[in-house]
Structure 1
């Protein structure tokens, strides 16, 4: 049954019981897309449901990624978790000249499909769930489209659907708030004939003028700056823990921290070498897959999101009996601490129901 709802919870509920140790906690080297890469596996093992975690970006192992092995005992008590840093970032970082200049979002999709095949071979009797955040939801949907018979369900947190549509949402949201300098810069980038520089700048402006990324409560309400700072500090408590984990993870070396920032560093995001990758984001349109897939899918997003408008996903859930939609009150693309607790609650409930 399709469910559409808003969830607000008490903080702290999902941070307890961190002394639990998984039955398996292993690192492996696998071949994905013809390239040797590292993954890690943790959880009950055996025939327990497997949950493959796809982080955002591209090249941004944040919230999900190899650094977060052991960070979510609420999940690893119930599911065998598989962690992977996308080729070229984090633990799977390479020298720049070793990464093909024609790498694209389709390259990562093929690797995600290969990873799912590898996990199916390792856990032949376990239901497999795909759990993606942001760009990782592109990987979940491409993977399930290719390996539908292997997948029990899909969890999409902070989903993307059409990146062209997302860029339009960002521009519309901040259009009347931009100053003349910003408006001129946006128009200049729009005229250079490439997708990413313009799209990235408009997204940056939306993050500045709206709550779509970090939810700050007092934004645009006429409240004093100290109120906005206090709101941001409170709402971003989980964000600070996610960032601290990158530094303190036993799975990351100091050099891996540079790889973890690949998606934002000039030689990763803005270099000429990887223009193909960032411009290929324009090709992302998941609506056709979402409209035809029969397997269970849950979309979880903050109500201030702009990558996909909340009403669009609510309408999808109304049309499709296999789709569930959870709207997190007072949250943006990066979940607030309170929203994260309810997102975790929804993931566990959904994962147990479909597996």
Structure 2
């Protein structure tokens, strides 16, 4: 009997501690949301959420900038479906860019603030169509302004594909951590991992995953690259990642995200390959090399050294052959940018738009 009482007391204390912790977090979130919102509105001529209809779907976008006369920079995050760096939940977080641009953040259809329960209805074709509609909407809303498309990781598929349709409306596209083809990336990941010191078990998993030559095998290679190298996340210098880690936590204090939006920002990562299977397969099969080679719009390609999603040699050759292509490698960074990486990326984007 006494044992049961002790257990119940322990359960009650634990429950009370969890309730107090939740209360502290929610109160701190409410205070921080207000501070972030007030500061962003005070420091910018424009800092507002808008609802636009893109390919027939109502979508929330955040528009922010210190001057309405600045050119427009549309941000397309990576993932797929992970608006954790360049999504709608980062009001006030990019003063380096909002000083020079009207920055437009859009959680791509199906995630974050624009989540849909029917994840299998989300297709690459419709996201590309929505990107084109977003460009047209910004052209109509800010006539005479230059418009740039910025894509990160999977977002570079959208920038490149959309530019084939609305290239005449664009002053340029910027591809950070660009994907040319995930089948190419599969080979690059395999070769990168072959140089790592791994156990016999890991070597066997590596070979089996590579031999699969499918999306599931590639996902395993991505996981191994993330955990065993500094090509995805810069493990070799953890203090160099403080800005990135802040972004992962920052969504909790976003004045534009409900608790459900936060969950939906991480939804694709939580459920992995069991959600958005159509979209994931389409991205796996996409090949953007021909489009990049045919585009005439100015293109800035930014890639960390050792990134596995596109060949640096291919980008160098493309830049050498085409006057509209500029290629810059970012030192001391990874596919997920370091502090120095963010600084170099923002500087390159500003210089490109001058």
TM-score of the alignment, normalized to the shorter chain, above 0.5: yes
Map 1:179-328 to 2 at 5 A.
179-186=199-206, 195-217=214-236, 231-232=237-238, 234-266=239-271, 269-271=272-274, 274-328=276-330
Asked whether 1:164 is paired with 2:183, we answer yes
C-alpha spacing 1:155/1:274, structure 2 compared with 1 (3 Å):
closer
TM-score w.r.t. structure 1 length? 0.83
Aligned residues: 315
User: Is the 8 Å Cα contact of residues 20 and 73 (structure 1) preserved in structure 2?
Assistant: no
- Matches for 1:4-153 after TM superposition, within 5 Å: 21-44=43-66, 46-95=68-117, 98-99=118-119, 101-153=120-172
Q: Give the Cα–Cα distance (whole angstroms) in 1 for the partners of residues 73 and 277 of structure 2.
A: 32
Q: Distance in 2 between matches of 1:343 and 1:113?
A: 24
Q: How many angstroms does 1:236 deviate by?
A: 1.1
Q: 1:176 to 1:45 in 2, by over 3 A?
A: closer
1:147: Cα distance to partner? Answer: 0.4
Name the counterpart of 2:25: none
| Contact 1:215 1:304 survives alignment (8 Å) | no
Q: CA deviation at 1:104?
A: 2.4
CA drift at 1:25: 1.3
**Contact 1:137 / 1:157 at 8 angstroms: preserved in 2?**
yes
Contact 1:46 1:126 in 2 (8 A): no
The aligned residue for residue 12 of structure 1 is: none
Question: What is the aligned partner in structure 2 of residue 228 from structure 1?
Answer: none
Q: In structure 1, what is the Cα distance between the partners aligned to 2:350 and 2:291?
A: 24
Q: For 1:304 and 1:187, how far apart are their aligned partners in 2?
A: 21
1:173 matches 2:203: no
- 5+ residue gaps, structure 2, are 1-38
1:283 positional shift: 2.1
Structure-2 separation of matches of 1:62 and 1:30:
21
Q: Deviations over 1:125-147 (max 9, x none)?
A: 11101111111111111111110
RMSD: 2.1
Gaps of 5+ in 1: 1-16, 218-230
- Which has the larger helix fraction? 2
Contact 1:58 / 1:105 at 8 angstroms: preserved in 2?
Answer: no
